[in-house]
Structure 1
Amino acid sequence: MSALEKSKAISNKPMIVKSLFNIGCCYKGLGDFNRALAYFNQVILEGEPIHATELLLVYYELSLFHLSQKEFIEGERFFKRGLEEAKNRKNDLFLSLLMVLEILFLKTANLSEVLSSLEKLENERGYPYMEDLALEAARYYNENGRMDESVKMYEKVMYARKQIQRGDCSYEF
């Protein structure tokens, strides 16, 4: 019996939300974004009534996914929900993550602003996110023919990976 089934059997809402989130992350890691999105949306349905901590992560993931796919209406909708949730919880990490998304996808994508916003992630909790966001920025700049900026972002990816390999990070939420 899976963790999700066990959680449902005992009606443990927080564990149901965690299980749904973990399954969504697994599908994301496998590159099956449609299934990941389906599970992330279930996290919202189950998690909003109980104010689950996973909501911040899901709003961020859905913002990133939709914005990177140029689905700006959906992306901005999840961005705003994530921003509100991060402010309510006074979560500086997620405020910083959302700032990067805002600069890159909803504003000018100015390189110095992106780099400045990534600097706020230079800590043990932020390096994994820095790596992902710098890679996303590199792809964005590459797709838009901004090769010099893309190279700078790939350098930032390598920097973050080096910090992660040194053990200067934590994958805890």
Structure 2
Amino acid sequence: MRGHVSMRRYDDGIPYDIVTRKLNDWYTAIRNNLDKEATSLKKEVEKFIGRVDKNSDVFFYHQLLEFRHELMLSYLKSKNEEDLKNAYEALKEHQGHLKGMLDYYFFFFTGMYEFRRKKLVAAISAYRRAEKSLEFVDDEIEHAEFYYKMAEIFYYMKQTYFSLDYVKRAIRIYNKYDNYIDRVLRCQYVVAGNLIDSLDYKGALEMFEETLKIAKKTGRQLLIATSKLNIGICYNLIGEYEKSYKSLIEANEFFKKENHACVEKTLFNLAHVQAKRGEKESAKSYYEKGYAVALERKNSEYIVKLDLLKALYLKEGCYNLIDESFSFFRERKMYGDIEEFGFEVAEVFQKKGDTDRSAFYYRQVILAKNQIQKGEMIYETQIDDLIIGSDSGVGYYGDK
């Protein structure tokens, strides 16, 4: 495939062109989330890779794909995060040897890793660094993959203009090729998410409903479940809790069966909807299930979000959990979450007559909005501040 690594050197009798072709096929399977095919190709590659020169581009490409494979499994199968961390640490040792296209892959995959950990500034810094080496990649689909990831993180950070700009670039490329309907739908999720951030709930819901129709025509259960999850979240936001609950339940059936990474997110939203409906026992049940999954998977984002939900609706007086959740958001510069949850927390305290706490969280919303508005300037100055070797891996990274 154009844009993949290509070497013609032979060493120790190994035909490098055959090995690199297998590596390219492996990456294509990973990129398409074909976990069984990717695992099979990985085993084929491993038959040769032990004899490959450890200073060659072929070897470094293999190391990059080892890490990208773990990223895929962490998304599809919620694989142990420790395996992912170990793969990243092994990869970092080779960073100084990577040039051109391999340099792009290193920073692109690093950005994906940091985004998964919700290290947002580290993620955007890595993506920006990858963008500098994108010129070495000829494969147009890889360009679209990169643009989608940029759109995703800017959406998460509520940088709507940048998110829409990148997602439109991705859609233009995907629409030029057959068999990329899943990618187009994924892009539509981001467009709809930006419509929500622009308070166009009707437009977002219509788009999510359209993606569900298309997903059903393809018969791809993951796309169907993802559309239903998004529809459920959208109905929750506009206060149609019964419709939200029904859609989320249907999504959860698939994610639970597949042990998908979206399980805790779906359970959180189910608990959230039921709590807002006043169905306290049901909300508590979904909270406990979600918390157990998040704890087992060491998903710190949903541990703190579920704690926030508990403090807000399920248990009186544990305000420390709310404070800890917002500290988590601030540390990771998750200003979109501060804005969203800050408003909800303020409203709940307002209804309880606790005007001091309500005013405090309204102020947090204002501060978060200010940070979002000046975000462009912050991210631009971060591009060259990449300190390889920090805790996050790069200077200081879906799904919302």
TM > 0.5 between the two?
yes
Determine the C-alpha separation between the residues in 2 that align with 1:95 and 1:149: 23
Distance 2:363 2:335 in 1: 13
SS class of match (1:53)? coil
Matches of residues 118-129 of structure 1 in structure 2 within 5 Å?
118-122=326-330, 123-124=332-333, 126-129=334-337
The alignment's C-alpha RMSD in Å is 2.6
Tell me the equivalent position of 1:19.
227
Consecutive unaligned residues of structure 1, counting only runs of 5 or more, are none
8 Å Cα contact 2:244/2:273 also seen in 1: no
Pick from 293, 298, 301: which aligns with 1:90? 298
Does the 8 Å CA contact 2:233/2:269 hold for their aligned counterparts? no
What amino acid sits opposite 1:165 in the alignment? Q
For 1:49 and 1:110, the matched residues in 2 are separated by: 34
Cα deviations by residue, 1:139-172 (Å, 9 ceiling, x for unpaired): 2211111111111111122222222333379884
1:56 matched residue in structure 2: 264
Q: Percent identity between the aligned chains?
A: 22
2:278 matched residue in structure 1? 70
Instruction: State how 1:15-164 maps to structure 2 within 5 Å.
Output: 15-122=223-330, 123-124=332-333, 126-164=334-372
- Which amino acid in the other structure matches residue 25 of structure 1? I
Q: Distance in 2 between matches of 1:77 and 1:28?
A: 18
SS of structure 2 residue aligned to 1:120: helix
Equivalent pair of 2:349/2:358 in contact (CA under 8 Å): yes
Task: State the SS of the aligned residue for 2:258.
Answer: coil
Q: 1:121 to 1:29 in 2, by over 3 A?
A: same
Query: How far is the alpha carbon of 1:136 from its aligned partner?
Result: 1.9
Superposition deviation, residue 63 in structure 1 = 1.5
> Does 135-144 or 160-169 show the bigger shift?
160-169
Amino acid of the residue matched to residue 71 of structure 1?
E
Shift of 1:110: 4.6
TM-score under structure 2 length normalisation: 0.39
Distance across 2 between alignment mates of 1:148 and 1:171: 36
CA contact (8 A) 2:235 2:241 kept: yes
Letter in 2 for 1:154: Y
Q: CA deviation at 1:111?
A: 4.2
Contact kept in structure 2, 1:134 and 1:156, CA below 8 Å: yes
Residue 374 (structure 2) pairs with residue 166 (structure 1): yes
Instruction: State how far apart, in whole Å, the 2-side matches of 1:154 and 1:65 are.
Output: 22
Of structures 1 and 2, the one with the larger relative CO (CA 8 A, separation 6+) is 2
Give unpaired runs (5+ residues) of structure 2: 1-208, 380-396
The CA distance in 1 between the partners of 2:306 and 2:312, in whole Å, is 10
- Once residues 94 and 120 of structure 1 are traced to their aligned partners in structure 2, the CA distance between those partners, rounded to angstroms, is 11
For 2:222, the aligned partner's letter is: P
C-alpha displacement of 1:62: 1.8
- What secondary structure does 1:109 align onto? coil
The one-letter code of the counterpart of 2:248 is: F
In structure 2, C-alpha distance between the alignment counterparts of 1:40 and 1:93, rounded to whole Å: 19
